[in-house]
Amino acid sequence: MGDYILGIESSCDDTSAAVICDGVLLSNVIASQKVHENFGGVVPELASRAHQENIVPVVSEALREAGISKSQLTAIAFTRGPGLLGSLLVGTSFAKGLAMALNIPLIDVNHLHGHVLSHFIKREESDSHPEFPFLCLLVSGGNSQIVLAKSPKEMEILGKTIDDAAGEAFDKCAKVMGLPYPGGPHIDRLAATGDPGRFKFSKPHIPGLDYSFSGLKTSFLYTLRDALKEDPEFIEKNKADLAASLQHTIIEILLDKLAKAVKEYPVKHLAIGGGVSANSGVRKAVQDFCDRRGIKAWIPERAFTTDNAAMVAEAGYFKYLDGEFCPLDSPPYSRVTI
Ligand code: KG4
Protein backbone atom coordinates (compact mmCIF):
# COMPACT_ATOMS: atom_id res chain seq x y z
CA MET A 1 0.00 0.00 0.00
CA GLY A 2 1.41 3.42 -1.00
CA ASP A 3 1.21 6.87 0.56
CA TYR A 4 -1.82 8.74 -0.78
CA ILE A 5 -1.72 12.54 -0.57
CA LEU A 6 -4.71 14.74 -1.31
CA GLY A 7 -3.78 18.21 -2.64
CA ILE A 8 -6.17 21.15 -2.36
CA GLU A 9 -5.80 24.45 -4.26
CA SER A 10 -8.10 27.45 -3.78
CA SER A 11 -5.82 30.51 -3.95
CA CYS A 12 -7.67 32.46 -6.65
CA ASP A 13 -10.53 31.44 -8.96
CA ASP A 14 -9.85 27.72 -9.55
CA THR A 15 -11.06 25.11 -7.07
CA SER A 16 -8.88 22.06 -7.53
CA ALA A 17 -8.21 18.72 -5.82
CA ALA A 18 -5.70 16.04 -6.78
CA VAL A 19 -4.54 12.69 -5.45
CA ILE A 20 -1.02 11.32 -5.80
CA CYS A 21 0.29 7.92 -4.68
CA ASP A 22 4.00 7.81 -3.81
CA GLY A 23 4.42 10.94 -5.95
CA VAL A 24 2.55 9.55 -8.99
CA LEU A 25 -0.54 11.48 -10.10
CA LEU A 26 -3.85 9.59 -9.93
CA SER A 27 -6.30 12.47 -10.41
CA ASN A 28 -6.38 16.26 -10.88
CA VAL A 29 -9.83 17.86 -10.92
CA ILE A 30 -10.21 21.60 -11.61
CA ALA A 31 -13.42 23.64 -11.42
CA SER A 32 -12.77 27.03 -13.04
CA GLN A 33 -15.13 29.82 -12.02
CA LYS A 34 -16.99 31.33 -14.96
CA VAL A 35 -18.77 33.87 -12.74
CA HIS A 36 -15.92 36.42 -13.13
CA GLU A 37 -16.13 36.67 -16.94
CA ASN A 38 -18.89 39.30 -16.75
CA PHE A 39 -16.78 41.53 -14.51
CA GLY A 40 -13.54 41.59 -16.51
CA GLY A 41 -11.52 40.25 -13.57
CA VAL A 42 -11.73 38.10 -10.44
CA VAL A 43 -14.24 39.37 -7.84
CA PRO A 44 -12.86 38.12 -4.48
CA GLU A 45 -16.22 37.76 -2.71
CA LEU A 46 -17.70 35.76 -5.60
CA ALA A 47 -14.55 33.62 -5.77
CA SER A 48 -14.81 32.51 -2.14
CA ARG A 49 -18.53 31.73 -2.52
CA ALA A 50 -17.83 29.64 -5.61
CA HIS A 51 -15.03 27.78 -3.79
CA GLN A 52 -17.50 26.91 -1.04
CA GLU A 53 -19.91 25.47 -3.59
CA ASN A 54 -17.20 23.59 -5.48
CA ILE A 55 -14.92 22.21 -2.81
CA VAL A 56 -16.94 19.13 -1.73
CA PRO A 57 -17.83 17.91 -5.27
CA VAL A 58 -14.28 18.59 -6.55
CA VAL A 59 -12.63 16.63 -3.70
CA SER A 60 -15.17 13.78 -4.07
CA GLU A 61 -14.47 13.60 -7.81
CA ALA A 62 -10.69 13.59 -7.25
CA LEU A 63 -11.03 10.65 -4.83
CA ARG A 64 -13.39 8.84 -7.20
CA GLU A 65 -11.05 9.26 -10.19
CA ALA A 66 -8.12 8.09 -8.07
CA GLY A 67 -10.15 5.00 -7.15
CA ILE A 68 -9.70 5.41 -3.40
CA SER A 69 -11.87 6.29 -0.41
CA LYS A 70 -11.00 9.13 1.95
CA SER A 71 -10.07 6.66 4.69
CA GLN A 72 -7.10 5.57 2.53
CA LEU A 73 -5.55 9.07 2.54
CA THR A 74 -2.18 9.40 4.31
CA ALA A 75 -1.91 13.22 4.42
CA ILE A 76 -3.53 16.40 3.10
CA ALA A 77 -1.55 19.19 1.40
CA PHE A 78 -3.17 22.58 0.88
CA THR A 79 -2.22 25.98 -0.55
CA ARG A 80 -1.64 28.28 2.42
CA GLY A 81 -0.69 31.34 0.35
CA PRO A 82 -0.19 33.64 -1.42
CA GLY A 83 -3.61 34.40 -2.88
CA LEU A 84 -6.98 35.94 -2.08
CA LEU A 85 -7.60 35.52 1.64
CA GLY A 86 -11.30 34.61 1.32
CA SER A 87 -10.47 31.99 -1.32
CA LEU A 88 -7.56 30.57 0.67
CA LEU A 89 -9.74 30.30 3.78
CA VAL A 90 -12.11 27.87 2.03
CA GLY A 91 -9.37 25.41 1.01
CA THR A 92 -7.49 25.83 4.30
CA SER A 93 -10.55 25.24 6.47
CA PHE A 94 -11.65 22.26 4.40
CA ALA A 95 -8.16 20.69 4.54
CA LYS A 96 -7.97 21.20 8.31
CA GLY A 97 -11.45 19.76 8.91
CA LEU A 98 -10.77 16.67 6.82
CA ALA A 99 -7.29 16.11 8.32
CA MET A 100 -8.77 16.37 11.81
CA ALA A 101 -11.67 14.01 11.02
CA LEU A 102 -9.31 11.43 9.47
CA ASN A 103 -6.60 12.02 12.08
CA ILE A 104 -3.89 12.41 9.40
CA PRO A 105 -1.14 15.03 8.97
CA LEU A 106 -1.66 18.39 7.33
CA ILE A 107 0.97 19.91 5.01
CA ASP A 108 1.04 23.60 4.06
CA VAL A 109 2.26 24.50 0.57
CA ASN A 110 3.47 27.82 -0.82
CA HIS A 111 1.53 28.27 -4.08
CA LEU A 112 4.64 29.62 -5.86
CA HIS A 113 6.70 26.57 -4.83
CA GLY A 114 3.85 24.54 -6.31
CA HIS A 115 4.21 26.23 -9.71
CA VAL A 116 8.00 25.67 -9.72
CA LEU A 117 7.57 22.04 -8.63
CA SER A 118 4.84 21.36 -11.21
CA HIS A 119 7.69 19.86 -13.28
CA PHE A 120 7.95 17.06 -10.73
CA ILE A 121 4.36 15.89 -11.26
CA LYS A 122 4.71 12.30 -12.44
CA ARG A 123 2.22 10.40 -14.57
CA GLU A 124 4.45 7.35 -14.24
CA GLU A 125 7.12 6.37 -11.75
CA SER A 126 9.82 6.73 -14.44
CA ASP A 127 8.94 10.32 -15.52
CA SER A 128 11.91 12.71 -15.55
CA HIS A 129 12.19 16.17 -13.99
CA PRO A 130 14.60 19.16 -13.90
CA GLU A 131 17.88 18.80 -12.04
CA PHE A 132 18.68 21.19 -9.19
CA PRO A 133 19.79 23.91 -9.29
CA PHE A 134 17.58 25.21 -12.08
CA LEU A 135 16.07 28.56 -13.04
CA CYS A 136 12.31 28.94 -13.31
CA LEU A 137 10.51 31.76 -15.08
CA LEU A 138 7.31 31.98 -13.07
CA VAL A 139 4.74 34.02 -14.98
CA SER A 140 1.07 34.19 -14.01
CA GLY A 141 -1.76 36.62 -13.41
CA GLY A 142 -0.29 37.62 -10.05
CA ASN A 143 3.45 37.00 -10.42
CA SER A 144 6.37 37.48 -12.77
CA GLN A 145 9.55 36.19 -11.22
CA ILE A 146 12.84 34.54 -12.02
CA VAL A 147 13.41 31.90 -9.34
CA LEU A 148 16.56 29.94 -8.59
CA ALA A 149 15.39 26.53 -7.35
CA LYS A 150 18.22 25.05 -5.31
CA SER A 151 16.23 22.14 -3.86
CA PRO A 152 12.50 21.29 -3.52
CA LYS A 153 12.27 23.55 -0.49
CA GLU A 154 15.03 26.08 -1.05
CA MET A 155 14.16 28.74 -3.62
CA GLU A 156 15.50 32.25 -4.16
CA ILE A 157 13.75 35.02 -6.09
CA LEU A 158 16.39 36.62 -8.32
CA GLY A 159 14.03 39.17 -9.87
CA LYS A 160 10.35 40.03 -9.78
CA THR A 161 7.91 42.55 -11.18
CA ILE A 162 7.89 45.96 -9.54
CA ASP A 163 4.32 46.63 -10.74
CA ASP A 164 2.04 44.45 -12.94
CA ALA A 165 2.56 40.77 -13.69
CA ALA A 166 2.92 39.50 -17.28
CA GLY A 167 -0.57 37.92 -17.07
CA GLU A 168 -2.03 41.28 -16.04
CA ALA A 169 -0.39 42.90 -19.08
CA PHE A 170 -2.05 40.29 -21.32
CA ASP A 171 -5.42 40.61 -19.56
CA LYS A 172 -5.54 44.41 -19.29
CA CYS A 173 -4.45 45.02 -22.89
CA ALA A 174 -6.97 42.41 -24.05
CA LYS A 175 -9.66 44.27 -22.10
CA VAL A 176 -8.75 47.51 -23.91
CA MET A 177 -9.28 45.58 -27.17
CA GLY A 178 -12.73 44.52 -25.97
CA LEU A 179 -11.75 40.85 -25.48
CA PRO A 180 -13.28 38.75 -22.66
CA TYR A 181 -11.53 37.94 -19.36
CA PRO A 182 -9.05 36.34 -19.02
CA GLY A 183 -7.59 37.87 -22.16
CA GLY A 184 -4.29 35.96 -22.30
CA PRO A 185 -5.64 32.92 -24.20
CA HIS A 186 -7.52 35.24 -26.65
CA ILE A 187 -4.34 37.21 -27.40
CA ASP A 188 -2.51 33.89 -27.90
CA ARG A 189 -5.14 32.70 -30.42
CA LEU A 190 -5.25 36.00 -32.34
CA ALA A 191 -1.45 36.35 -32.37
CA ALA A 192 -1.12 33.12 -34.35
CA THR A 193 -2.24 34.90 -37.54
CA GLY A 194 -0.82 38.39 -36.84
CA ASP A 195 2.39 40.26 -37.70
CA PRO A 196 4.51 40.57 -34.51
CA GLY A 197 6.58 43.43 -35.99
CA ARG A 198 3.66 45.64 -37.09
CA PHE A 199 3.33 47.76 -33.92
CA LYS A 200 6.04 48.87 -31.49
CA PHE A 201 5.28 49.32 -27.80
CA SER A 202 7.60 50.68 -25.14
CA LYS A 203 9.82 48.36 -23.14
CA PRO A 204 11.03 49.04 -19.57
CA HIS A 205 14.56 49.95 -18.50
CA ILE A 206 14.70 48.46 -15.03
CA PRO A 207 18.07 47.52 -13.49
CA GLY A 208 18.93 43.98 -12.43
CA LEU A 209 16.57 41.05 -12.96
CA ASP A 210 13.33 42.82 -12.02
CA TYR A 211 10.42 43.20 -14.42
CA SER A 212 7.94 45.97 -15.13
CA PHE A 213 4.86 45.78 -17.35
CA SER A 214 2.91 48.92 -16.46
CA GLY A 215 4.70 51.07 -19.10
CA LEU A 216 3.86 48.59 -21.83
CA LYS A 217 0.21 48.66 -20.77
CA THR A 218 0.12 52.47 -20.98
CA SER A 219 1.93 52.48 -24.33
CA PHE A 220 -0.59 49.96 -25.70
CA LEU A 221 -3.51 52.02 -24.39
CA TYR A 222 -2.17 55.27 -25.92
CA THR A 223 -1.50 53.62 -29.30
CA LEU A 224 -5.09 52.44 -29.45
CA ARG A 225 -6.53 55.74 -28.16
CA ASP A 226 -4.68 57.77 -30.82
CA ALA A 227 -5.47 55.36 -33.65
CA LEU A 228 -9.16 55.18 -32.73
CA LYS A 229 -9.44 58.96 -33.16
CA GLU A 230 -8.45 58.50 -36.82
CA ASP A 231 -10.36 55.28 -37.43
CA PRO A 232 -13.09 53.98 -35.10
CA GLU A 233 -12.70 50.53 -36.71
CA PHE A 234 -8.95 50.42 -35.93
CA ILE A 235 -9.07 47.59 -33.35
CA GLU A 236 -11.37 45.41 -35.41
CA LYS A 237 -9.24 45.84 -38.56
CA ASN A 238 -5.90 45.20 -36.77
CA LYS A 239 -6.85 42.68 -34.06
CA ALA A 240 -4.40 39.95 -35.06
CA ASP A 241 -1.43 42.33 -35.60
CA LEU A 242 -2.11 44.11 -32.29
CA ALA A 243 -2.23 40.78 -30.43
CA ALA A 244 0.91 39.46 -32.16
CA SER A 245 2.86 42.69 -31.51
CA LEU A 246 1.77 42.79 -27.86
CA GLN A 247 2.69 39.13 -27.31
CA HIS A 248 6.02 39.66 -29.07
CA THR A 249 6.87 42.63 -26.79
CA ILE A 250 5.93 40.71 -23.61
CA ILE A 251 8.14 37.80 -24.73
CA GLU A 252 11.05 40.17 -25.47
CA ILE A 253 10.74 41.71 -22.00
CA LEU A 254 10.66 38.26 -20.38
CA LEU A 255 13.61 36.90 -22.35
CA ASP A 256 15.84 39.99 -21.95
CA LYS A 257 15.96 39.37 -18.20
CA LEU A 258 16.19 35.62 -18.61
CA ALA A 259 19.31 36.14 -20.76
CA LYS A 260 20.84 38.22 -17.94
CA ALA A 261 19.87 35.57 -15.39
CA VAL A 262 21.54 32.66 -17.21
CA LYS A 263 24.72 34.73 -17.53
CA GLU A 264 24.79 35.39 -13.79
CA TYR A 265 23.58 31.88 -12.85
CA PRO A 266 24.84 29.46 -15.50
CA VAL A 267 22.44 26.56 -14.93
CA LYS A 268 22.00 23.47 -17.10
CA HIS A 269 18.21 23.34 -16.73
CA LEU A 270 15.57 26.07 -17.12
CA ALA A 271 11.82 25.72 -16.50
CA ILE A 272 8.74 27.88 -16.97
CA GLY A 273 5.55 27.83 -14.93
CA GLY A 274 2.34 29.73 -14.16
CA GLY A 275 -0.65 30.58 -16.36
CA VAL A 276 1.32 32.62 -18.91
CA SER A 277 3.56 29.61 -19.58
CA ALA A 278 0.55 28.19 -21.47
CA ASN A 279 1.17 30.86 -24.13
CA SER A 280 2.28 29.33 -27.46
CA GLY A 281 4.72 32.17 -28.20
CA VAL A 282 6.29 32.05 -24.72
CA ARG A 283 6.69 28.25 -24.93
CA LYS A 284 8.37 28.39 -28.33
CA ALA A 285 10.59 31.37 -27.45
CA VAL A 286 11.84 29.74 -24.23
CA GLN A 287 12.50 26.44 -26.03
CA ASP A 288 14.54 28.29 -28.74
CA PHE A 289 16.32 30.40 -26.09
CA CYS A 290 17.46 27.23 -24.28
CA ASP A 291 18.35 25.33 -27.47
CA ARG A 292 20.65 28.18 -28.56
CA ARG A 293 22.49 28.00 -25.23
CA GLY A 294 22.61 24.22 -24.75
CA ILE A 295 20.29 24.45 -21.73
CA LYS A 296 17.62 21.79 -21.14
CA ALA A 297 14.19 23.47 -21.30
CA TRP A 298 11.27 22.25 -19.19
CA ILE A 299 7.94 23.33 -20.68
CA PRO A 300 4.98 22.13 -18.56
CA GLU A 301 1.91 20.30 -19.83
CA ARG A 302 -0.76 22.97 -20.38
CA ALA A 303 -2.94 21.37 -17.67
CA PHE A 304 -0.23 22.15 -15.12
CA THR A 305 0.41 25.78 -16.12
CA THR A 306 -2.66 27.41 -14.56
CA ASP A 307 -3.64 26.84 -10.93
CA ASN A 308 -4.02 23.13 -10.13
CA ALA A 309 -3.88 20.86 -7.09
CA ALA A 310 -1.52 18.31 -8.67
CA MET A 311 1.37 20.72 -8.11
CA VAL A 312 0.21 21.31 -4.52
CA ALA A 313 0.09 17.56 -3.80
CA GLU A 314 3.55 17.13 -5.39
CA ALA A 315 5.09 20.01 -3.42
CA GLY A 316 3.41 18.59 -0.30
CA TYR A 317 4.92 15.17 -1.02
CA PHE A 318 8.46 16.58 -0.69
CA LYS A 319 7.55 17.91 2.76
CA TYR A 320 5.79 14.65 3.64
CA LEU A 321 8.98 12.69 2.94
CA ASP A 322 10.80 14.93 5.45
CA GLY A 323 7.97 14.69 8.01
CA GLU A 324 7.34 18.44 7.77
CA PHE A 325 3.75 18.87 8.90
CA CYS A 326 1.80 21.97 9.87
CA PRO A 327 -0.27 22.57 13.02
CA LEU A 328 -4.06 22.79 12.76
CA ASP A 329 -4.05 26.42 13.90
CA SER A 330 -1.90 27.68 10.96
CA PRO A 331 -3.71 30.57 9.26
CA PRO A 332 -3.55 31.21 5.47
CA TYR A 333 -1.45 34.12 4.16
CA SER A 334 -2.53 36.42 1.35
CA ARG A 335 1.02 37.66 0.79
CA VAL A 336 4.00 35.44 1.21
CA THR A 337 7.30 35.37 -0.56
CA ILE A 338 8.73 32.20 -2.09
O1 KG4 B 1 -1.37 30.88 -12.84
P2 KG4 B 1 -2.74 31.42 -13.14
O3 KG4 B 1 -3.81 30.42 -13.46
O4 KG4 B 1 -3.32 32.22 -11.93
C5 KG4 B 1 -2.89 33.44 -11.44
O6 KG4 B 1 -1.84 33.53 -10.78
O7 KG4 B 1 -3.63 34.43 -11.68
O8 KG4 B 1 -2.56 32.47 -14.34
C9 KG4 B 1 -3.62 33.13 -14.94
C10 KG4 B 1 -3.05 34.06 -15.98
C11 KG4 B 1 -4.07 35.02 -16.58
O12 KG4 B 1 -3.50 36.31 -16.59
C13 KG4 B 1 -4.25 34.48 -18.01
O14 KG4 B 1 -4.60 35.46 -18.96
C15 KG4 B 1 -2.88 33.92 -18.29
O16 KG4 B 1 -2.51 33.30 -17.07
N17 KG4 B 1 -2.92 32.95 -19.40
C18 KG4 B 1 -2.35 33.19 -20.59
C19 KG4 B 1 -2.64 32.05 -21.41
N20 KG4 B 1 -3.36 31.17 -20.66
C21 KG4 B 1 -3.52 31.74 -19.43
N22 KG4 B 1 -1.65 34.24 -21.04
C23 KG4 B 1 -1.21 34.20 -22.31
N24 KG4 B 1 -1.45 33.16 -23.16
C25 KG4 B 1 -2.14 32.07 -22.74
N26 KG4 B 1 -2.38 31.05 -23.57
Distance, CA 141 to ligand 1 centroid (Å)? 5
Ligand 1: nearest atom to the Cα of 181: 14
pLDDT of residue 338: 60
User: Of all protein residues, whose CA lies closest to atom 13 belonging to ligand 1?
Assistant: 184
pLDDT at 337: 66
The residue ranges of the chain whose pLDDT is under 50 are none
Which atom of ligand 1 lies nearest, measured to the CA of 305? 1
User: What does residue 81 show for φ and ψ, rounded to 5 degrees?
Assistant: 165, 170
Nearest CA owner, ligand 1 atom 21: 275
CA-nearest residue, atom 14 of ligand 1: 184
Query: What 3-state DSSP class applies to 329?
Result: coil
Question: Per-residue pLDDT tens for 233-246?
Answer: 999 999 999 999 99
Residues having CB within 6 Å of any atom of ligand 1: 12, 140-142, 167, 170-171, 182-185, 188, 274-276, 278-279, 306-307
Secondary structure percentages of the chain, helix, strand, coil, to 5: 50, 20, 35
Helix axes 214-230, 234-264, angle to 10 degrees: 160
Distance 279 CA to ligand 1 centre (A): 8
Q: Is there a contact between 42 and 282 (Cβ–Cβ < 8 Å)?
A: no
**How far is the centre of ligand 1, averaged over its atoms, from the C-alpha of 41 (Å)?**
12
Report which protein residue has its CA nearest ligand 1's atom 22.
184
| Spacing, Cα 183 to ligand 1 middle (Å) | 8
Q: What global pTM score does this model have?
A: 0.95
- DSSP letter string over 10-72? -SSSEEEEEEEETTEEEEEEEEE-GGGGGGTS--HHHHHHHHHHHHHHHHHHHHHHHT--GGG
Test site for ligand 1: of 137, 140, 284, most ligand atoms within 8 A of the Cβ: 140
Residue 77 is inside which H or E element, if any?
Answer: strand 75-81
| DSSP string computed for 107-162 | EEEEHHHHHHGGGG-BSSTT---PPSSEEEEEE-SS-EEEEEEEETTEEEEEEEBS
For the CA of 307, the closest atom of ligand 1 is 3
Q: What is the pLDDT of residue 39?
A: 83
